[in-house]
Amino acid sequence: MIFNSLTFVVFFAIVLGLHRAPLPWTAKKIVLLVASYLFYAAWNPPFVILLWISTVVDWWAAQAMVKSGRPWTRRAWMITSVVVNLGLLGFFKYGQFLLDNFIVLAGAAGIAYQPAKYDIILPVGISFYTFATLSYTLDVYLRRSKPAKHFLDYALFVTFFPHLVAGPIMRPTELVPQFAEERRATPHMMLFGMALLTLGLFQKVVLADGFLGPVVEAVYDARKGVPMALDAWVGTFAFAGQIFCDFAGYSTSAIGVALALGFAMPDNFRFPYAAIGFSDFWRRWHITLSSWLRDYLYIPLGGNRHGPARTYAALMGTMLLGGLWHGANWTFVVWGGLHGLYLSVERWLRGRFASYRPGPWMLAAIGALTFLLINITWVFFRAKTFGGAWTILTSMVGAATKPVAMIAMLPMIYAMTIVAGIVATHWAMRDKTIELVIQKTPPLLLGAIWAVMAMAIIAEQGKGSAFIYFQF
């Protein structure tokens, strides 16, 4: 079940109606829990078992860590949680990847190894809920937070359907306390939540799928031929717009759905294409993932507390693993490695020119360079193979042999206009929030914009597809 479907509209209407019905709070939480399992089971019912395993193992591990006063017992339960969660993630997401690489290594050693076909389906959203459940047991082990008092509250935290399959990656301390007492959306929360849902679906259905997706596919999924330099650049810029509208669209929709039910979830994007530098970019892009990587990888690897060399190694290690989190392919590792390199170079430059204070024009130039270099990384994120990525990169620098035009003029104009509009909007909103803009916008104008987005979504229905980040 996806947000951009009629099935979800019916599902959400029923859930919302039951949530506002005169029922006891415990009954309402049970309704939300059952609804969340149904939401997830719509993809593949047996995979609900994986959710149960993660939920039960982490619940008992956290309870046991609190009850035990012995350090080795607490450590054993923490390791059990980590092994179970990462074991499930590794088997379903990285099993084929590891097997393929083992076959290559065996072949290099002169061993012809042909195993049985590894035909395993990837459970949707497993990377997201694995990180969410791991944060629970790790925080309890590190004494950053106390375990949930009630199993129902914790189970609902794991499975709460707005964030279950593609984030935001919630921390227990952000959501579990909200289940303690009855929550019901005020009229303002309901209105704002539905506005966010409409905005998110507009980004996904109309912009990402309707205008940008076909342009990206024409360049990156071409079966034969090499794109011209202009086509390669336009296709890559279009993907920058598509991946933002697709993923930010999901996060915005998820936050809106949760708000309409009376729950608050953190922002996951803050206008990232207005970033000035790469550390700024990661404070604005997929915020809940970047903060998770910082707290549970970068800082444990040493952070910036043990000298420059250790800091650069921690940055690179964190981003390489962050790249691998996105997909079982070496192209994602290169994508993460490039970001690690960017962050390391930026940190070195900041230390080298610590007293330098750039003016407005220099800040704009740094922002433009940041956006350009980020687009280079998107090539590896979107291309399925290194050969495909190399084809795009050689075309970008005008070194392709016998290139051909792959994008018609009108779709190219539409795509570049939308991308330019996204970047301009990010810069205009760089230090603002959507809430503030909505509050200052005249109600009549706001209603007209809302109506236009809603009509555009309806007009594009039937053409949309699953969100890109569902595969992660």
Nearest Cα to 201, choosing from 6, 63, 416?
6
Instruction: Report the alpha-carbon distance of residue 374 to residue 372 in Å, rounded.
Output: 5
> What was the pLDDT predicted at 456?
94
**For the purposes of burial, counting CB atoms within 10 Å of the CB of 352, is it exposed (0-12), middle (13-18) or buried (19 or more)?**
exposed
Angle, vertex CA 291, rays to CA 289 and CA 292, nearest 5: 60
Mean pLDDT, rounded, for 338-358:
94
Summarize the confidence of residues 243-271 as an average pLDDT.
Answer: 96
pLDDT tens digit sequence for 270-322: 999 999 999 999 999 999 999 999 999 999 999 888 889 999 999 999 999 99
Flag whether pLDDT at 116 surpasses 80.
Answer: no
DSSP helix/strand/coil, 147: coil
Residue 471 — very low, low, confident or very high, per pLDDT cuts 50/70/90?
low
Tell how strand 403-404 and strand 226-227 pair up: parallel
- CA 321, 326, 327, 333 dihedral sign is negative
Report d(CA 88, CA 39) in Å as an integer: 21
pLDDT band, residue 152 (cuts 50/70/90): very high
What phi and psi, each to the nearest 5 degrees, are found at residue 359? -80, 180
Q: Are 328 and 336 in contact (CB under 8 A)?
A: no
Q: Exposed, middle or buried: residue 330 (CB in 10 Å: 0-12, 13-18, 19+)? A: middle
DSSP symbol at 280: H
Higher pLDDT, 190 or 68: 190
Task: Evaluate if residue 49 carries a pLDDT over 90.
Answer: yes
Half-sphere exposure of 391 (CA within 13 A, CB side): 22
Distance between CA atoms of 166 and 135, rounded to whole angstroms?
A: 16
Report, as an integer, the average pLDDT of 409-427.
Answer: 97
Q: Which residue's entry shows tokens 């993907």?
A: 239
Query: Are 229 and 395 spatial neighbours (Cβ–Cβ below 8 Å)?
Result: yes
pLDDT the model gives residue 341: 98
What are the distances in angstroms from CA 13 to CA 20, 179, 265? 11, 21, 20
Residue-level pLDDT at 167: 79
- 3-class DSSP assignment, residue 125: coil
Between vectors from CA 225 to CA 220 and to CA 226, what angle results, nearest 5°? 65
Burial category of 429 from C-beta neighbours within 10 Å (exposed 0-12, middle 13-18, buried 19 and up): middle
* Residue (of 199, 334, 337, 207) closest to 269 by Cα position: 199
Task: State how far Cα 282 lies from the chain centre.
Answer: 12
C-alpha 417 chain-centroid distance: 25
- Residues 324 and 380 sit within 8 Å (Cβ to Cβ): no
Predicted local confidence at residue 463, as pLDDT = 55
Question: Does 470 have pLDDT greater than 80?
Answer: no
Q: Does residue 119 have a pLDDT over 90?
A: no
Quick one: average pLDDT of 345-353? 94
Mean pLDDT rounded to a whole number for the chain:
93
- Cβ pair 88, 126 in contact under 8 A: yes
22: number of Cβ within 10 Å? 5
Q: Is residue 462 very low, low, confident or very high in pLDDT (cuts 50, 70, 90)?
A: low
Would you say residue 1 has pLDDT above 80? no
Higher pLDDT, 333 or 467: 333
Q: Where are the beta strands (DSSP E) in 79-145?
A: none
464: pLDDT strictly greater than 70 = no
Q: Does the structure show a pLDDT above 90 at 92?
A: yes
Residues involved in catalysis: 326
Taken in order 57, 166, 336, 220, the sign of the CA dihedral is positive
For 374-407, b where at least 16 C-beta lie within 10 A, e where not — what string?
bbbbbbbbbbeeeebbebbbbbbeeebeebeebb
**What pLDDT shows up at residue 338?**
98
Q: Which of 97-101, 320-324, 448-452 has the lowest mean pLDDT?
A: 97-101
From first CA to last CA, the distance across the chain in angstroms is: 16
Q: Please give the pLDDT value at position 14.
A: 96
pLDDT reported for residue 246 = 95
Q: Is 16 exposed, middle or buried (0-12, 13-18, 19+ CB in 10 A)?
A: middle
What confidence tens digit (pLDDT) does each residue in 364-382 have?
Answer: 999 999 999 999 999 999 9
Per-residue pLDDT tens digits for 177-236: 999 999 999 999 999 999 999 999 999 999 999 999 999 999 999 888 899 999 999 999
Confidence of residue 113 (pLDDT cuts 50, 70, 90): confident
Question: Is 60 exceeded by the pLDDT of residue 150?
Answer: yes
Record the pTM.
0.95
Q: Which of 59-63, 329-333, 401-405 has the lowest mean pLDDT?
A: 401-405
Let me know: does 269 contact 196? Beta carbons within 8 Å. Answer: no
